[in-house]
Structure 1
Amino acid sequence: MTTLAEDDLARDWRSARPVAAGVHVDSAACSRQSFATIDAAAQHARHEAEVGGYVAAAAAQSVLDAGRAGIGALIGMGADDVAFTTGSNHALDLLLGSWPGPRTVACALGEYGPNLALMAAHGFTVSPLAVDEHGRVRADAVAAALHADSPALVHLTGIGSHRGVAQPLAEVADACRTAGVPLVLDAAQALGQLDCAIGADAVYSSSRKWMAGPRGVGFLAVRPGLAQRLRRRVPPPEWELPISAMQSFEQHEANLAARVGFSVAVGQHLAAGPAAVRARLASIGRATRTLLDGVGGWRVVEPRDERTAITTLAPPAGVQPAVVRDWLITERGIVTTVAESARAPFELTGPVLRLSPHVDVTAADLQACAEALESAATTPIRT
């Protein structure tokens, strides 16, 4: 039995949301939204129907401005440095497409597959950063690599999609700053789990993960020094229009209801206390790994004390994680994710089962996961 204790943060988070239909341990994919977030998005959509989309958009500006300011507070930037996007992939696509100089980038061996695909699509040559046995970037090796053969930029995914290992964000940021190389931080999994105000030159993330906002919205934030270097794509830069690259990033024909909901979710996260949320998530990750390692033959991949709430489980021989994941949903009402090799094509050698509870998970929820995995080991669900 896990020793995970209840606290006020867990109770408040849970009471602010609809009751889960089963056990939700899948926040790295999509967290559960609060009543306030759902209501804010619905109210904006209703307002569009009442007064028209553009009048409603004008009325929502103060909420959206507060959302940008809240995002800025979490990453150490200003509200004016933040542009809303449709998500993390969209944000990286905008940034790479506007890059003005040599297209060389350094990143960890376990870089997220879709990020690598975007880098290739935009003509970037990728070089690997040295990592340890857990896939964690070696900050000393980053400094040496940047001194020896400096890329145009460093891209760091703070926590991978396939493994709950926290990268040394502040140390890599210091190395990049010393070398004069811009650092781009993919905070899709890190925002909410780690302190992301580490001085990165650009940060992007999604709403739907640890911020517990709506799907289909995210952000790209760029410091002024780097933003001024970016080359606007649309409208074409040769058109002499007073539109900066950052201004061109925000699509005005957008789902503003989702942006409003995201802004409310960010406000709720700030009110809960980012440091308290990070501490709670770290304790949940430790409890989850302690409980599940070895259950039903599954092996925890991360170090037990890793400061994230993501636990990935390598399967026993002959077991397909995708089959078990489907069985957990249909037979036990437990929602997890399978991370296939494509998520980290140069590091992940086979699929893993990923559990990612948020702060409201209970000891009983985690025990249910353990019992289900133990039961799965003796149930004929292998293919």
Structure 2
Amino acid sequence: MTETLAERWRAARPKAAGVHLDSGACSRQGFAAIDAAAQHARHEAEVGGYVALDAAAPVLDAGRAAVAALTGLAATDVVFTTGANHALSLLLDSWDGDRTAACLPGEYGPNLALLAANGFRVSALPVDEDGRLRVDAAADVLARDRPGLVHLTPLGSHRGIAQPLAPLAEVCRDLGLPLVVDAAQALGHLDCAVAPAAIYSASRKWLAGPRGVGVLAVHPELADRLRPRFPPSDPAAPLTVLQQLSHGESNAAARVGFSVAIGEHLAAGDGNVRARLAEVGRLTRTAMADVAGWRVVEPVDEPTAITTLEPTGGADPHRVRAWLIAERGIVTTACDARRAPNELTAPVLRLSPHVDVTSDDLELTAAALADASTI
């Protein structure tokens, strides 16, 4: 009998201590990624950190190649970072040109803060009642009032609405506008192979890598226009833009673990994982549809595994999250307005199971939420 993707994913990692519905925050790592990171740390102790780093070059190169396969860019366009916020900070700090940006009204709060800190003036792209980008209207807006960059988060952390990344990428190419993509929730979850001007992500979410690792991929045309502030490039020994962006201390063991994790993702089949995550979303929303005291925000067939629950009876999502962990061993996320300050008006509860979730997990969660709705 052939194992299912869910069975293989479950067998490849430690048994969950409860029900894990929090992959949008941090997925559960597999044995291979854990062992690879540990082995690298041991190798550092044996031969020294920089010798071990040289020895790990093939694994890290494979990791960059895997990122390239998921983004439509080249392996030579990819640098490791400490996370998604770090990647965006590196990019914006190096920006040389018009500091205006167009993004969704529901843009991630920390991204807005980084844009503001780097002197960017932000304008909102048109969306429908679900917060989904209206591509034709956006094309008209962008042609009429050209920003320095277009920034898109294809899948937000506060709502499981899949944005039309590929159509917007085509609009930006036609208009000659650089598209920067925050794929922290999208990489390994949605199709991101659109070869944008830049794309960045984290390791720990749907790709199930270690915490403290991220990636930034920059198309050569945009890289040529960036001006990193540090380290200075010595004319006698010039550094490329990507070498400057990747300069500094790093947790090499975590990067090795991430490279192994993303390799596992590709081995499972990116399309297979995306299809299963869409199925997981449908199953989750169906299971939660009739739970008293909560309203499912997303359409049932939204092709993502993020389900947002809005309290209708006065429940506090932060208190409910803590109660679910303490009393039922169920891990979720409470999202407050800081995640999307221009769209989210009150806290919500987010469920983000991975491909291994079972119907029993969802039934237990629905029953627990019914019990928790009055606390």
- How many angstroms does 1:7 deviate by? 6.2
Equivalent of residue 103 in structure 2, options 104, 107, 117: 107
Indicate the residue corresponding to 2:13 in structure 1: 17
Q: Classify 1:238/1:261 alpha carbon distance in 2 versus 1 (closer, same or farther; 3 Å).
A: closer
Do the aligned partners of 2:335 and 2:348 also contact (CA within 8 Å) in 1?
yes
3-state SS of paired residue (2:66): helix
Verify: 1:372 aligned to 2:368, yes or no.
Answer: yes
**CA displacement at 1:25 relative to structure 2:** 0.4
Aligned counterparts, 1:341-380, within 5 A: 341-377=337-373
Residues 233 and 245 in structure 1, CA contact (< 8 A), matched pair in contact too: no
Deviation at 1:238, TM superposition (A): 8.1
CA distance in 1, matches of 2:75, 2:230: 22
2:116 paired with 1:120: yes
1:306 equivalent in structure 2: 302
* Structure 1: distance between partners of 2:269 and 2:204: 18
Aligned to 2:215: 219
Unaligned 5+ residue runs, structure 1? 1-5
Q: TM-score with structure 2 length normalisation?
A: 0.98
Give the residue type in structure 2 aligned to 1:335: V
Report percent identity of matched pairs.
66
> In the alignment, which residue of structure 1 is the partner of 2:78?
82
Give the one of 35, 40, 55 matched to 2:36: 40
1:329-354 CA distance string (max 9 Å, x none): 00000000001000000000100000
1:227-276 deviation line (CA, Å, top 9, x unaligned): 11111211236866511221111134210000000000010000000000
Partner of residue 142 from structure 1, selected from 138, 141, 158: 138
Matched residue, 1:178: 174
Match of 1:154 among 124, 137, 150: 150
CA contact (8 A) 2:77 2:218 kept: yes
- Whether the 8 Å contact between 1:296 and 1:376 is mirrored in structure 2 is no
Report what 2:24 is aligned to.
28
SS at match of 2:292: helix
Aligned residue for 1:296, secondary structure, equals: coil
> Counterparts of 2:242 and 2:81 in 1: how far apart (Å)?
11
- Asked whether the 8 Å contact 2:233–2:239 carries over to 1, the reply is no
Q: Which moved more, 1:231-240 or 1:62-71?
A: 231-240
Shifted more, 31-40 versus 294-303: the winner is 294-303
Question: How high is the TM-score relative to the length of structure 1?
Answer: 0.96
Aligned to 1:91: 87
Q: Is the 8 A contact 2:5 2:355 kept in 1?
A: yes
Alignment match of 2:290 (pick from 263, 281, 294): 294
Give every structure 1 segment of 4 or more consecutive aligned residues whose post-TM-superposition deviation is greater than 6 Å.
none
Give the Cα–Cα distance (whole angstroms) in 1 for the partners of residues 198 and 249 of structure 2.
24
2:3 & 2:186 partners in 1: Cα distance? Answer: 23
Question: What residue identity is the alignment partner of 1:224?
Answer: P
CA distance in 2, matches of 1:240, 1:103: 31
Q: CA RMSD in A?
A: 1.3
SS at match of 1:358: coil
Please give the secondary structure, in 2, of the residue aligned with 1:134. coil
Contact 2:231 2:247 (8 Å CA) reproduced: no
Matched residue, 1:3? none
SS in 2 for 1:353: strand
In structure 2, C-alpha distance between the alignment counterparts of 1:268 and 1:341, rounded to whole Å: 35
Equivalent of residue 338 in structure 1, options 318, 327, 334: 334
- Tell me the CA shift for residue 146 of structure 1: 1.2
